[in-house]
Amino acid sequence: MPNSLKSVGTFFVLLGFVFGVCFIVVTPPFQVPDAQSHYLRAYEISEGELLGVNKMHKSGGYFPQQVFDMQNSFHYLQSPWNSSNWSAEKLSYWSIKYPLFKSEFQYTDSGQRAFHVVVGTNSYPPLLYIPWAAVMLLGRVVHLKLLFTYYICEFFNLLLFLYIGRKSILLVSTDISYLFALVLLSPMSLSLATSVNPNGILIALSSFLAGLFYKNVHEASRELSR
Calculate the average pLDDT of the chain.
80
Give me the pLDDT at residue 168, please: 93
What integer pLDDT is reported at residue 95 of this predicted model?
A: 57
User: Which candidate, 27, 29, 48, places its Cα nearest to that of 133?
Assistant: 48
Name the domain count of the chain: 1
Highest mean pLDDT among 48-52, 97-101, 139-143, 162-166: 162-166
**pTM of the predicted model, to two decimals?**
0.83
pLDDT at 208: 94
pLDDT tens-digit series, residues 193-221:
999 889 999 999 999 999 999 888 877 77
Query: How far apart, in whole angstroms, are the C-alpha atoms of residue 117 and residue 138?
Result: 25
> What pLDDT was estimated at residue 223?
66
Which pLDDT belongs to residue 200? 92
Domain of residue 83 covers 3-224
Give the pLDDT of residue 32.
Answer: 86
pLDDT at 4: 75
Determine contact, residues 28/77, Cβ cutoff 8 Å. Answer: yes
Q: What is the per-residue pLDDT across 19-67, written as a single tens digit (0 to 9) for each?
A: 999 999 888 888 888 888 888 888 888 888 777 666 666 777 777 877 7
Residue 105 above 60 pLDDT?
A: no
| 3-state SS, residue 146 | helix
How much is the pLDDT for 111? 64
Residues paired with residue 114 on neighbouring β-strands, in sequence order:
63
